């Protein structure tokens, strides 16, 4: 009896299954179509996307949400190149993702083969690991290494190249080098003396501040961090995707007094956050020149970046937080609630919240950002996942829309990437549908941001995903123009010369993109229309929805001090 033989495509699929990969996103074509089919045959969920960037964004979001990498499957040459944006974004965000790219047949290399490109070399700049198996037989070994590299240490992107001639090449089952599923990342702990040193500095702080980053969310450290906040009575500030690790409505959250907290803290404890542009590099004038930084990070190279810490705690964030908790349980201490520092933070927090309410209460039309987000916040389910991108849309939305649960906010992230929204929303919807079918994904997009990946609405409708998209439409990038002003611009002559670079076509009906594919679309201009559309969209269980909300084209984040960027956008 002849020995059973497997195709290279089936070997790839079985290798992914062995590494507990659950989701593959991609666009098929020569030479990877058979890999997608084989993945479905072994029980892996395959979602066909409309753009490789969006597919890679989705796969990386799966890695962040689940701790196991999603896979992005792309064709050779241009297909792989389009996915590089997603790989770079994943690497910058420290999210695990595997990109599998088909490539030219080996016997056609250097001959000008179809879509021939030096893919392994190109991906090295965007990934932690980039390799081509030397034979079909060693594919499982290379895929195991890619998965392991993606989740060990600082998580990131990995690339595996599959030559076209491997896909339909059959090999004997006995010749395949099977590899067991890689173990979860080893848990490392900080040095005990560093824990003691950090705790002493915290106890002596006059104006302490805890900053919670998305690394804390990824580490699933929410329980220990909340205990730490409450046991030590510390004010905390979440970074955008650190929101929800401790609920935004927790009394110790000082997000509404962000600038004041950063500028005057004398001791800052960084939990899974980096002193990059999002936190103004930790440097004056945004910080005190002599601020003491206590840094907790999984990556040794990150310790001391831009500002040298007074205590560097290298290790798994959840384990290190538990070490700090254990120290303070044995030597109880709590920061007094009646200090001048708490008084300052609470006053600033109150004044900024009142200003937001004042801006939200404006009744003039068109609406402003604050009015829109006020009504969205009123109806948001507490367990929904919020995906957000866009300039003002994302920044202002972050200050108004609250997260009460960890890993329930996804946005442009460390790389500031526009176009991630719908890919992230698709990933979140697929993951939550498998775990909690009733959970909603709310994708809040600026109109410019929506344009980057708007055709993924077809993907959303094809898979009937529980996503409500809200496009906050100001007719432009940062700011736009109303229809009358646009008509005046047209009268001036050639629009390629006179139309401002930030402008988009006024009053575009993005909701019709959703209705074109069978979903529900709503065009909204007033608060009452917005409330009605939100109620209908959130109640909808059988199809996706899109609400296109028209706002004042010149609306901005006036009078607020919530800027993430060191310099103004405009």
Q: Give a yes or no: residue 569 inside a domain.
A: no
Please check whether residues 156 and 245 belong to one and the same domain.
no
Is 415 part of a structural domain of the chain?
A: yes
User: pLDDT digits over 542-570, tens only?
Assistant: 899 999 999 999 987 554 443 434 444 43
The answer to whether residues 163 and 221 belong to one domain is no
Residues above pLDDT 70, as percent of the chain = 97
Output the pLDDT for position 46: 98
> How confident is the model at residue 1, as a pLDDT?
64
In-domain check, residue 357:
no
Digit-coded pLDDT (tens) for 360-383: 998 899 999 999 999 999 999 999
Asked whether residue 146 falls in the same domain as residue 114, the answer is: yes
The helix/strand/coil state of 1 is: coil
- Distance CA(293)–CA(96), nearest Å, equals 28
On whether both 268 and 155 belong to a single domain, the answer is no
* pLDDT score of 240 more than 90: yes
What is the model's pLDDT at position 164? Answer: 95
What is the tens place of the pLDDT at every residue in 450-465? 999 999 999 999 999 9
Instruction: Mark whether 314 and 386 lie in a shared domain.
Output: no
Do 53 and 75 contact (CB within 8 A), yes or no? no
Q: Are residues 277 and 367 in the same domain?
A: no
Q: Are residue 168 and residue 219 in the same domain, yes or no?
A: no
Q: CATH no. for residue 129?
A: 3.40.50.970
List pLDDT tens digits, range 151-202: 999 999 999 999 999 999 999 999 998 889 999 999 999 999 999 999 999 9
CATH number at residue 206: 3.40.50.1220
For residue 160, tell me if it sits in a domain. yes
Task: Tell me whether residue 555 is in a domain.
Answer: no
What is d(CA 176, CA 290) in angstroms, rounded to the nearest whole number?
Answer: 59
User: Using CA atoms, how far apart are residues 72 and 52, in angstroms rounded to an integer?
Assistant: 8
Looking at the fold, whether 315 and 370 belong to one and the same domain comes out as no
398 with 543, same domain?
yes
Q: Report in angstroms the alpha-carbon separations of 365 from 526, 527, 546.
A: 7, 9, 21
Q: Where are the alpha helices (DSSP H) in 107-236?
A: 119-124, 139-151, 164-167, 192-203, 214-218, 222-232
Nearest to 550 by CA among 471, 485, 495: 471
Same domain, 534 and 385: yes
In sequence order, which residues have a C-beta less than 8 Å from that of residue 224 and are 6 or more positions away?
318, 321, 322, 325
Q: Which domain holds residue 403?
A: 362-550
Q: Distance (Å, rounded) from C-alpha 324 to C-alpha 186?
A: 19
Same domain for 163 and 214, yes or no, is: no
Question: Does residue 308 surpass a pLDDT of 50?
Answer: yes
What distance in Å separates the CA atoms of residue 6 and residue 8, rounded to the nearest whole number? 7
Look at residues 415, 425, 64, 375 and name the one whose alpha carbon lies nearest to residue 219: 64
Question: Do 322 and 246 share a domain, yes or no?
Answer: yes
Distance (Å, rounded) from C-alpha 105 to C-alpha 116? 9
Whether 249 maps to a domain, the answer reads yes
Domain count within the chain: 3
């Amino acid at each position: 009896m002849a020995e059973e033989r497997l195709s290279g495509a089936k070997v790839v699929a079985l290798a992914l299954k062995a590494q507990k990969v659950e989701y593959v996103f991609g666009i098929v074509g020569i030479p990877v179509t058979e890999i997608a089919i084989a993945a479905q045959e072994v029980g892996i969920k395959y979602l066909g996307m409309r753009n490789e960037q969006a597919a890679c964004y989705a796969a990386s979001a799966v890695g962040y949400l689940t701790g196991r990498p999603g896979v992005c499957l792309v064709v050779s040459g241009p297909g792989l190149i389009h996915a590089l944006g997603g790989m770079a974004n994943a690497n910058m965000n420290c999210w695990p993702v595997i990109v599998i790219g088909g490539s030219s047949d080996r016997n056609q290399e250097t001959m000008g083969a179809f879509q021939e490109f030096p893919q392994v070399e190109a991906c090295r700049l965007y990934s932690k690991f980039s390799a081509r198996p030397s034979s079909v037989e060693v594919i499982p070994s290379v895929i195991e290494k890619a998965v392991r590299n993606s989740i060990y240490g600082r998580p990131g992107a990995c690339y595996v190249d599959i030559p076209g001639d491997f896909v339909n090449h059959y090999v004997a089952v006995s010749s395949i080098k099977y590899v067991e599923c890689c173990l979860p990342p080893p848990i490392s702990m900080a040095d005990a003396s560093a824990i003691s040193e950090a705790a002493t500095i915290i106890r002596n702080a006059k104006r302490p501040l805890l900053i919670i980053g998305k690394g804390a969310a990824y580490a699933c450290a929410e329980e220990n961090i909340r205990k730490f906040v409450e046991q030590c009575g510390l004010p905390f500030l979440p970074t955008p995707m650190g929101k929800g690790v401790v609920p935004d409505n927790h009394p110790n959250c000082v997000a509404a007094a962000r600038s004041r907290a950063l500028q005057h803290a004398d001791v800052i404890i960084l939990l899974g956050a980096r002193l990059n542009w999002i936190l103004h590099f930790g440097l004056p004038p945004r910080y005190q020149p002599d601020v003491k930084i206590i840094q907790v990070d999984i990556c040794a190279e990150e310790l001391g970046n831009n500002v040298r810490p007074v205590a560097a705690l290298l290790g798994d964030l959840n384990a290190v937080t538990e070490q700090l908790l254990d120290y303070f349980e044995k030597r109880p201490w709590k920061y007094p609630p009646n200090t001048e520092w708490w008084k300052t933070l609470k006053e600033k927090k109150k004044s900024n919240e009142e200003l937001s309410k004042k801006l939200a209460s404006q009744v003039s039309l068109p609406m402003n950002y604050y009015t829109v987000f006020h009504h969205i916040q009123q109806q948001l389910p507490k367990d929904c996942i919020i995906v957000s991108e866009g300039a003002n849309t994302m920044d202002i939305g972050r200050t108004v829309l609250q997260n009460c649960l960890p890993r329930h906010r996804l946005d442009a992230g460390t790389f500031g990437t526009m176009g991630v929204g719908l890919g992230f929303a698709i990933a979140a919807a697929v993951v939550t549908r498998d775990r909690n079918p009733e959970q909603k994904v709310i994708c809040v997009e600026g109109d410019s941001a929506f344009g980057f990946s708007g055709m993924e609405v077809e993907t959303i409708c094809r898979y009937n995903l529980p996503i409500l998209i809200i496009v906050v439409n100001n007719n432009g990038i940062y700011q736009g123009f109303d229809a009358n002003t646009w008509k005046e611009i047209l009268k001036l002559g050639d629009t390629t010369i006179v139309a401002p670079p930030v402008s988009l076509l006024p009053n575009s009906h993005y909701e019709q993109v959703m209705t074109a594919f069978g979903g529900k679309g709503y065009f909204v201009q007033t608060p009452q229309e917005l409330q009605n559309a939100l109620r209908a969209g959130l109640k909808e269980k059988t199809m996706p929805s899109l609400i296109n909300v028209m706002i004042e084209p010149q609306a901005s984040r006036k009078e607020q001090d919530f800027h993430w960027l060191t310099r103004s956008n405009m």
